[in-house]
Amino acid sequence: MSATATLEKPTTESTKESAVEPLMPDRFYEQFVQRLPISDRLALATRILNEIPSNIIVDYDDEWTDEARHEWSNASLRYFESQYPEEEELV
């Protein structure tokens, strides 16, 4: 099963073509799901979650790569520096 849905483009008089383009999940959500009343969205979410097999295995890797650790450290330092400029005294 694919992570994309398909939606037919409307046929124009000038081209007389019917093309099918992939509809990505974010765009599908914005165009269709987000516009539903909250009760319908909750019902849809329940249905989707109930269709996921209970024995599915999701592999979460708890180990960080050296690159990920480096990027996280740099981002943390940049954030810290933005919050506490050198002019201020930290006490």
Question: What's the pLDDT tens digit per position in 9-62?
Answer: 444 454 444 566 677 888 989 999 999 999 999 999 999 999 988 888 777 777
Residues in the chain: 91
Residue 37 belongs to a domain: yes
Residue 63 has pLDDT above 90, yes or no: no
Residue 13 belongs to a domain: no
Alpha-carbon span 25 to 79, nearest angstrom: 32
* Pairwise pLDDT comparison (90 vs 62), residue with the higher score: 62
Name the token pair of 80.
């810290």
Residue 30 belongs to a domain: yes
φ and ψ of 28, to 5 deg? -60, -45
Q: Are 7 and 23 in contact (CB under 8 A)?
A: yes
Residue 42 domain boundaries: 22-52
